Structures are given as C-alpha cells and as structure tokens.
C-alpha cells in the first residue's frame, strides 16, 4: 500500500512538472502570439516615391499588437525615411512608424510594435509602406511582382491570464495532435514503465 501511494506521489509530481512546463510557463510569459502572415514571396520590389505598397488583411485573432514587413537595404547604404502605417478598413491611419534606412537590414524584418488595438477577429486592416527614397532599385520590399502582394507578419496579444491560458491550451493540444503518435506513445509508456519499476 505504501509503495502504491509513493508511486502515486511520484506520478503526480511528474504531472505537476509537465503541467508547469506546458501550461503554466507559456500561459504566464507568452502573451503575444503570431497571427495571420505571408512570408513566402522571394522577389524584391523597388520601394521608392513612385512605388508604395498597401496590403489588406483580415485579423484572425483579437487585439492586434504588431505588424512586420520584410525590407532590404542593399549594403545598408540607403538612408531614406520609410513610413509604415496601419490603417483601418476605411483607410484611416491607426498607427504609424517612421524609420530610416539605418534600421533596415540587408534584408530584415522591420517590426512595428504598438500598444495593442482593441480589435476583434475578422476586422479588416491595411498595411501601407511608403518612402521618400527617390532612386529606384536602392531600397526593396519582398513581395510578388505580379499582384504587388507583400510579405508581412502580425502578432496579437492576450489581455488576461485566462485568455492566455486558453490560447496556450489550444496550441498545446494542436501540437500534441501533430506530433508523431508512435513516438508519443513510446515515450509515455517508457516513463510509466520506469515509474512502476522504481516501486516494485
């Protein structure tokens, strides 16, 4: 009987450890999670006074926290100003960031983080990129040459711990389901077997 209760305590301790790792830590510390994004375009499109870009997206979560675009400043030589705007569905500017070529890599994501917007899943936004760079082919944005679509990333935040816990739980369930089921079973079975072995 004493052995069974010790085994029980051991298994509970392990479960607490795993719950701490998978449920508590991410829920408490990861409040900002990636949302809708487009990262597959490899073409470079000239970004200059004649070529500005606008990208529409529908948010897939609540509370928009940041947007990022992939720019290229060859040899870090261009010092022009670049303006990144977040616009609502009526193209009114909600947030804007003005940055110079100094902070653009060759290439690199330019992250524009702001105090989160009280937006809802399904809201429509626009990202507008413009510059005062007058020379063509000196500053670039990654996108698709044909339809002028651009690469972009978004992040969304959670307002409270309950929401964060729920999002994390969904994420962990999704991860568990996409893991190799055979290896998951073997691993858990191995742990159980070792636990039992310790107490026989």
What residues make contact with another protein under the rule CB under 8 A?
14, 17-18, 21-22, 25-26, 29-30, 32-34, 39, 168, 171-172, 175-176, 178-180, 183, 187, 190-191, 194-195, 197-198
Give the nearest distance from C-beta 132 to another protein in angstroms: 29
Give the nearest distance from C-beta 59 to another protein in angstroms: 18
> What is the DSSP code string of 73-119?
-GGG----EEEEEEE-TT--EEEEEEEEGGG--TTEEEEEE-SPP--
**Closer of 76 and 190 to another protein (Cβ):** 190
Give the nearest distance from C-beta 92 to another protein in angstroms: 29
SS3 147: coil
Give the nearest distance from C-beta 114 to another protein in angstroms: 15
**Closer of 62 and 85 to another protein (Cβ):** 62
Give the nearest distance from C-beta 159 to another protein in angstroms: 17
**Closer of 18 and 76 to another protein (Cβ):** 18
**In sequence order, what are the residues at sequence separation of 6 or more whose Cβ sits closer than 8 angstroms to the Cβ of residue 34?**
153, 154, 155
- Residues 122/70, Cβ–Cβ less than 8 Å: no
**Closer of 9 and 89 to another protein (Cβ):** 9
Cα–Cα distance measured from residue 198 to residue 191, given in angstroms and rounded to the nearest whole number: 11
Give the nearest distance from C-beta 178 to another protein in angstroms: 5
Residue 45 corresponds to which tokens in the numbers above? Answer: 């499109």
**Closer of 26 and 101 to another protein (Cβ):** 26
Give the rounded distance of the alpha carbon of 171 from its chain centre. 13
Which of left, alpha, beta for 137 (phi over 0: left; psi -120 to 50: alpha)? left
**Closer of 57 and 85 to another protein (Cβ):** 57
Q: In what order do the strands lie in the sheet with 124-131?
A: 53-58, 124-131, 81-87, 93-100
> What is the DSSP code string of 160-175?
SHHHHHHHHHHHHHHH
């Amino acid at each position: 009987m004493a052995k069974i209760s010790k085994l029980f305590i051991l298994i509970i301790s392990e479960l607490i450890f795993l719950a701490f790792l998978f449920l508590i830590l991410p829920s408490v510390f990861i409040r900002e999670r990636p949302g809708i994004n487009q990262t597959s375009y490899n073409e470079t499109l000239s970004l200059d006074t004649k070529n500005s870009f606008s990208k529409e997206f529908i948010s897939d979560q609540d509370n928009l926290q940041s947007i990022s675009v992939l720019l290229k400043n060859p040899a870090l030589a261009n010092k022009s100003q670049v303006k990144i705007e977040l616009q609502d569905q009526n193209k009114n500017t909600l947030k804007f960031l003005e940055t110079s070529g100094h902070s653009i890599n060759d290439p690199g994501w330019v992250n524009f983080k702001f105090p989160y917007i009280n937006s809802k899943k399904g809201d429509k936004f626009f990202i507008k990129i413009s510059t005062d760079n007058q020379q063509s082919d000196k500053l670039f944005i990654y996108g698709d040459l044909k339809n002028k679509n651009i690469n972009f990333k978004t992040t969304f935040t959670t307002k409270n711990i309950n929401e964060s816990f729920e999002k994390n739980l969904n994420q962990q369930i999704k991860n568990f389901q996409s893991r190799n089921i055979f290896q998951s079973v073997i691993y858990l079975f191995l742990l159980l077997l070792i636990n039992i072995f310790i107490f026989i």
